[in-house]
Structure 1
Amino acid sequence: MMNKQKLLYLVSKGENSKVDFKLKLSIDTESNKKEFSKDIVAIANTRAGRGYLIFGVEDKRREIIGINPEDFKEEKLQQIIASRIDPPVPIKLEIVDVDKDKKVAVITIYNTNQRPHQMRENGAFYIRRGSTTDIMRKDEIASMIHEYGLLPYETIPIYSASLSDFNNEHIRSYLRNFNVIDNIDYSILEGLGIVSRDLDSSNYVPTYGGILLFSDNPQKYLPYSIIQIHNTTNTSKERTMVCDGNILDMLNKSCSIIEKYKNKQIPIEIIEDLLGNSVLHRDYFAINNCIEVYIKDNCIEIINPGYKKYKDTAESYLKRNMWLYLKLLSLDSKRRFFNKNIRAKDLINKNLKVRYYNVESKNLFKVVIRYH
């Protein structure tokens, strides 16, 4: 429930990605209704929880001017949203008394599991960038659709890639789990999601997941699928190192480097577990970010593109890339990174602490392993 104290706090902080100030409500014309719906869509699509449209505030000076409560009818606003936004966005209208002759209207825009929302009129998707409204980029739309399980990233074909990009020995090793000994049957790989058949040419092409797991150089097509390690412990040594290759090769390279520079009191097993989780839960549609590791004197920080989405009724989180997870359980035969007997939580003690930070607004997840 919105009260005066919370309202004044929001006003004092100014406009941001989840808060927008309006002097008055204008929904008397079709273009005004479109702008109102656009504002709702942009805030609803922006990560970081619920948002607010606050009416009766001058935005630049953050001055409360007030509104006429008779201009605000929730039923009418709900009708505009239901007819212009797909899927409709849940809202709540509240009139807040600031003092005896000034009232402010607040529309609370709730966070939903039905994002991204779009405008029915033109099919556009909008988002807030700071205090401005902008059209969503295609990678942002894809990321959000993938986030709610509507788009399986790993089985999307890469038409610029070819079957020659695969390391066939890796594929044969994996197929032995299905009693396929020597021959690589691409119809089986298609069923497993490792390749996809082009409908026009009937040729097989690798999928994103297939390239990530079975190519020696996925970065040829997915340059952001790396782990970048920053060493700050010894300035005479190499400061920034890039680990590439398929997922398992990349993890092995990363842990070898981290083992060399990390504080000896931080067990490598904890790094293996957390880095394994990073490649599983990262947002592969976040094409401008990679997994980054910062090695410091008494701590290690792992920053992952893709915040952790938690289940509604439990503290456990949803795995973003279940297809990858199921394949990696089989590929990681030594159980070094996945399906481990010892996990990070088992190694925490009075001297070793692990802290987790979920930064939904920046689509990032951060882990800090600190030795005291």
Structure 2
Amino acid sequence: MDVKKAKNLIKKEEGPKLDFKRTIDVQYESGRKELAKDICAIANSRGGRGYLIIGVEDKTKRIVGIEDTDLQEEQIQQIVSMRCDPPIPISLEFINIADKKIAVITIYVGSQKPYQLRENGAFYVRRGSTTDTMRKQELISALQENMELNIETCPIINSDINLIDEKLVKRYFNFQGIEIDESNKLPLLTSSSIIYKESEAQDYCLTLGGALVFCKNNNILLPHNMIKLINKLDNGFDEVYIIKGDLLDMLDGFERVLSMLLPKNYPINAVCEVIKDVILYRDYTIYYREIEVSLNYNNISIISPGIMVQEKELREINFTRRNMWIYEKLVVLDEKGRFAKSGKGFSKVKRAFKGHGKVIFINSLENNIFKVIFPGVYRFVD
């Protein structure tokens, strides 16, 4: 890292990927613990590379510097490798600014998140400029993103497999060239992770993905699986629609309701393109929020539980690392071919509103939601 980049970092405020320390004494156990904890938190936080800068006051940004003997790269690497599981990729550089030496620890983007401290087993993350333990939903999302946990195949304890829609199951297996009947039904459903059985002594139960894709009455088990649409286009009162069912039924139901409520010249297909992706890629581990849609005269908004998984900026979002089990099932089952066309969808959405206003995409880490705001209906009224 050169001096110019270091100065630019110092000008920035502390955040999930940037932390300043006036000093840190790794000769003592307390200092080693603090260093490992902070590096772990930065590594687990979303974004690109992170930086821990030592020798700079966090509030004033005053450069106080460090002594030559304060830190050594071999020592820092050893602290991280011994205390963090798995070891976090880092590097240490010393930079001279205004006749003072500062230390910059670069925390690289690793492929083995989430990281934890060996000592207490805790997972840490940055919330703004502070370090905190990861919450359950954050830990689940981190595991999902790195393919260490497939939430769709997790069992729903005490669920009734009789809720499965036989027609959907037959359609799915027929597409694979498999004839399903009573003799092979349970083995096929189990091997495909639609249902689950831990032992002979226990009954079969549905998996999360099995309930979402193959059960029309899954709201009995998953009340958060719904689209709540609030129509505020008519003056005087809000009209609320609750759209439930298996995921394909939800998409079909949403398209019908939207076609009924919006003007014919409004780009309804673009809104449906977004809701299709939201249904597919929302975070189904968030059990306390549903998909929310609001129709206003000035704008139309869609709020999805969980941020969208992305590689870089929100120019094009990489959805490929969440709910792949569900994706494969919907590609097969959707006779309209909507899910087979996934990819680059947001570019199409923007083009659909060209000349009528801007479509805004918001990935909110703080609120753990993904939000899309479309131009209002008034732009399409003659």
| TM more than 0.5 | yes
Q: Give the conservation status (yes or no) of the 8 Å contact 2:38–2:131.
A: yes
Cα shift at 1:291: 2.9
2:161 to 138, 143, 163: 163
Partner amino acid for 2:103?
A
Whole-Å separation in 2 of the counterparts to 1:39 and 1:169: 52
- Deviation by residue 1:237-293 (Cα, 9 ceiling, x = unmatched): 425544322212222232233333335433322222221122222222344444333
The aligned counterpart of 1:106 is 104
Worse-matched range after superposition: 122-131 or 349-358: 349-358
Give the structure-2-normalised TM-score: 0.83
Does residue 76 (structure 1) correspond to residue 75 (structure 2)? The answer is: yes
Corresponding residue number in structure 2 for 1:309: 310
The answer to whether the Cα contact below 8 Å between 2:309 and 2:317 also exists between their aligned partners in 1 is no
Name the CA shift for 1:351/1:74 in 2 (closer, same or farther; >3 Å).
same
* 1:189-228 alignment runs, 5 A limit: 189-199=189-199, 201-228=201-228
Q: Which amino acid letter does the alignment assign opposite residue 65 of structure 1?
A: V
Cα distance change of structure 1 residues 252 and 10 upon mapping to structure 2, 3 Å threshold:
same
Contact 1:262 1:297 in 2 (8 A): no
Which amino acid in 2 is paired with 1:292?
E
**Which stretch shows the higher mean deviation, 277-286 or 163-172?**
163-172
Where 2:302 maps in the other structure, the secondary structure is strand
Structure-2 change in CA distance of 1:190 and 1:356 (3 Å): same
Residue 331 of structure 1 aligns with which residue?
A: 333
| Structure 2 unmatched runs, 5+ | none
Q: CA, structure 1 residues 289+90, in 2 after alignment: closer, same or farther (shift >3 Å)?
A: farther
C-alpha displacement of 1:22: 1.6
So what's the TM-score if we normalise by structure 1?
A: 0.85
Alignment map for 1:37-186 (pairs within 5 Å): 37-100=36-99, 102-177=100-175, 178-180=177-179, 183=182, 185-186=185-186
1:253 aligns with 2:253: yes
What secondary structure does 2:285 align onto? coil
Aligned to 2:21: 22
Give distance in 1, aligned partners of 2:243 and 2:252: 9
Whole-Å separation in 2 of the counterparts to 1:152 and 1:248? 21
Bigger mean CA offset, 347-356 vs 139-148: 347-356
Paired position in structure 1 for 2:233: 233
Q: Secondary structure at the match of 2:335?
A: coil
> Which secondary structure does the structure 1 equivalent of 2:276 belong to?
helix
Are the aligned partners of 2:308 and 2:317 in contact in 1 as well (CA < 8 Å)?
no
Name the SS of the counterpart of 1:66 in structure 2: coil
Deviation string, structure 1 residues 34-63 (Cα, Å, up to 9, x no partner): 221111101110112222222223334444
Hey, what's the Cα distance between the residues in 2 that align with 1:242 and 1:128? 36
2: CA distance between counterparts of 1:52 and 1:233? 48
Structure 2 vs 1, CA of residues 91 and 356 (structure 1 numbering), >3 Å: closer, same or farther? Answer: same
Judge conservation of contact 1:248–1:332 (CA < 8 Å) in 2. Answer: yes
DSSP-derived class of the 2:14 partner:
coil
Provide the rounded CA distance (Å) in 1 between the counterparts of 2:88 and 2:346. 39
